[in-house]
Structure formats: structure tokens, C-alpha cells
Amino acid sequence: MENNKPFLEVLQGRKTDRIPFWFMRQAGRYLPEYRELRSRKNGFLDMAFDSGAACEITLQPIRRFGMDAAIIFSDILVIPYALGQRLEFLEGEGPKLERLRTGADIAKLNPGLMERKLSPVYEAIAKVSSKLDDKTALIGFAGAPWTVATYMVEGGGSKDFIAVKKMAYSDPQTFAALIDLLVESTAHYLIRQVEAGAEALQIFDSWSGVLDSDEFRKWVIQPTKQIVDLVRDSYPQIPIIGFPKGAGYNYMAYAEGTGVNVLGLDSQVPTKWAARVLQPLKPVQGNLDPIALLAGGDAMKLAAERIIADLSSGPFVFNLGHGIHKDTPVEHVEQLVKMIRS
């Protein structure tokens, strides 16, 4: 694939003169222009499913900071929503879903509605794609089946993941049916994003860290590999970034077992270890602690310098290890961008 977008160059395993960067949750509440737009809309879903608003929000950080990649403004929970599960985003409370507890609950989910329900996402991608300059790439994304399933079974965020783990441990057939449905629908969703104009994909497995190594293989590695294979059947060249947040010592198995092209690193991953062990296998992306960015000053500077020093001799995309926190001062982001660019 020939192109002159530094982000995509790195994802193909090539080194570039400048370090490409973007930040997870770069379009979000820390930006005054986002808060302004949000104040005129009726909650998160109203923004995500209005293709004009989603396009505008996606572009806001690019205008301000000139990231090397935009990521479409959406959420990993649009898949349960598109499958017919009730979903609300309550101000200050996080997502609430109607809980799935039985095989009958899962059987009621209906992939037939997906195309219509998700069409605003594809429209937004097409709009963003037409507006980006020829240096800036567009990322599509989805949640990994395990992480999306935790929300679907727990009915929202969780502290100890009892309901979903109990289903996985006690009724693995029923849980596998849910995971299989998520594999199919997520692969389809990612393929449609590529058709609409996404030039790279990221798979977020935010809760991969709560599983032991056997369960990690079953519910993280295998489903992710199936998705990667399905997407590659349609788009063999599309770069796919895997982000198994908190995977710890299971990271290596993920790198070897899933077939993703690029490894997203959470903040915990030691960069010297990543440079020695992971980067020779695949390009890496990460991993500044978002709270170092929120704190700013010397701590942010030293942490970012260490990351750049350790990882920039191989193919590397600078990013955070998790999403930007809403209380992050915009000036800290400006300072970080200056550092990366210099």
C-alpha cells in the first residue's frame, strides 16, 4: 500500500521521520468546543447518531492539534444498541443497559436491525473522510467481544465482573453464543467502516485484564482472531490495532495469537520491555498515563520523553495508555503535542 500518511506508514511497519500521534478519547469533554456542541444535543447517542455532529466532533481535535489520525466519534456500545439491547447514557453515571442473563435474552438480540441503526456511523465516516487532508488518517473502531459482553451481561460498568464471569464459568455454551454473535456483528461493523472510508481499525478490549490466562485465550484471543480473519477476508491490507488493556503477562499470547498488526500498549506496559520484546514483532502504540497528562509539568515531560526515547527507534505511534480524562487542561495537551513534534 502506497500512501504518504505517516500514521499509516508506521502501521505498515515502516519508520517515518516524524512520530505520528493521536490520543484515545481525543474528541471529548476536555475540549470547550465539544462541551459547547454537547450542550445543544440530547445526550451521547444523539451526538453519535447524528452524522453531522459526529463528523464535527471527530474533527475538533484535529483542527486544534493536528493529530496524524482522527478516530470516528462513537462508542463501543453501539453494537449492543444496534442488536436491540436497551442502552442509555446517563449524565455522570456511565452507560446503563438492560441486563442479559439467559440464553433466551441472547436469542432475542437481532442482527437484522444493525445496518439501519448503524448507518449514521458510516455516514459520519464518509463525511470525515472527505474533509481530512492528505496527511491525516481516519480510524474506525469497535469494542472486542469480551469487553462488550461485560457491559451487556453486567448492564453497565462493573467492579468485579461477577455476572459475566459467572456466565462464562458456569454456562460457557450460552456465553459462547453471545461471543459468537458479537464476533459476527463486530466484524461486519468494522468491514462497513472500512467501506465508508476508515483507513485503519482499532479493537478496544478494555476489560481483558480481569481474566486468567485460560479464560483470556477463550474469550479474548480466539474471538479477536476470528474478527481479524473475517475483516482480512474482505480487506487483506487494512491495518488493525489491538488494544488489550490491562492484559499484563497475557500480552505476549495476544500479540502472537490474534493476528492484529499493531499493539496498543496501556500505561502499565514497561516501554523498555516493549521495545525489546514486542516492537521487533509488530509496531506499537502508546502509552502515556492520562493522569500524567492531566497533571502536566515535569512529570508529563519526563514520562513522555522516556516513552519516546524507548520506543522511537522502531515503528511507533505516540498515544496515551487510556483515554484523555475530562478534567485535562487543554494547555497540557498543547504542550505534549509540541514535545512530540519537536
The single residue among 299, 309, 334, 341 that binds a copy of itself, judged by CB under 8 A, is 299
Nearest CA to 202 out of 162, 143, 270, 253 is that of 143
Helix ranges (H only) for the chain are: 6-11, 32-39, 44-48, 51-65, 78-82, 103-107, 114-131, 145-154, 162-170, 172-196, 213-216, 222-234, 251-257, 271-273, 290-295, 297-311, 330-341
Tell the smallest beta-carbon distance from residue 90 to a copy of itself (Å): 16
In the complex with a copy of itself, the residue whose CB is nearer, 179 or 303, is 303
Tell the smallest beta-carbon distance from residue 211 to a copy of itself (Å): 7
In the complex with a copy of itself, the residue whose CB is nearer, 95 or 197, is 95
Site for a copy of itself in 245-274 (CB under 8 A): 246-251, 253, 267-273
DSSP secondary structure of 99-123:
PP-SHHHHHT--GGGHHHHHHHHHH
Which is the catalytic residue, given 30, 151, 189, 251?
Answer: 151
Is the alpha carbon torsion for 254, 256, 261, 263 positive or negative? positive
> Going residue by residue from 173 to 212, which x/- string records binding to a copy of itself, judged by CB under 8 A?
------------------------------------xxxx
**Could you tell me which stretch among 49-57, 118-126, 222-230, 297-305 binds a copy of itself (CB under 8 A)?**
297-305
The single residue among 3, 102, 213, 313 that binds a copy of itself, judged by CB under 8 A, is 213
Instruction: State yes or no: residue 102 binds a copy of itself (CB under 8 A).
Output: no
Helix ranges (H only) for 30-113 are: 32-39, 44-48, 51-65, 78-82, 103-107
Instruction: Give the other-Cβ count within 10 Å of 293's Cβ.
Output: 23
Tell the smallest beta-carbon distance from residue 286 to a copy of itself (Å): 10
> Annotated catalytic, 25?
yes
In the complex with a copy of itself, the residue whose CB is nearer, 120 or 321, is 321
Instruction: State yes or no: residue 291 binds a copy of itself (CB under 8 A).
Output: yes
In the complex with a copy of itself, the residue whose CB is nearer, 171 or 184, is 171
DSSP H or E run through 93: none
**Could you tell me which stretch among 16-24, 114-122, 191-199, 213-221 binds a copy of itself (CB under 8 A)?**
213-221
Site for a copy of itself in 2-41 (CB under 8 A): none
CB contact at 8 A, 274 and 284? yes
In the complex with a copy of itself, the residue whose CB is nearer, 79 or 320, is 320
In the complex with a copy of itself, the residue whose CB is nearer, 124 or 274, is 274
> Annotated catalytic, 151?
yes
- Identify the burial level of 249 via C-beta atoms within 10 angstroms of its C-beta, where 0-12 means exposed, 13-18 middle and 19 or more buried: exposed
Q: State phi, psi for 20 to the nearest 5 degrees.
A: -70, 150
In the complex with a copy of itself, the residue whose CB is nearer, 162 or 281, is 162
Number of residues this chain uses to bind a copy of itself (CB under 8 A): 47
Give CA–CA dist 203/187, Å, rounded: 10
Tell the smallest beta-carbon distance from residue 32 to a copy of itself (Å): 20
Beta-carbon contacts of 242 under 8 Å, excluding residues fewer than 6 positions away, are 202, 203, 205, 224, 254, 255, 258, 260, 262, 263, 264
Please report where in the chains the cell 481535535 appears, as a residue: 61
Residues that bind a copy of itself (CB under 8 A): 160-162, 165-166, 168-170, 172, 209-216, 246-251, 253, 267-273, 287, 289, 291-292, 294-297, 299-300, 302-303, 306, 321, 325, 327
**Which residues are the active-site residues?**
25, 29, 38, 75, 151
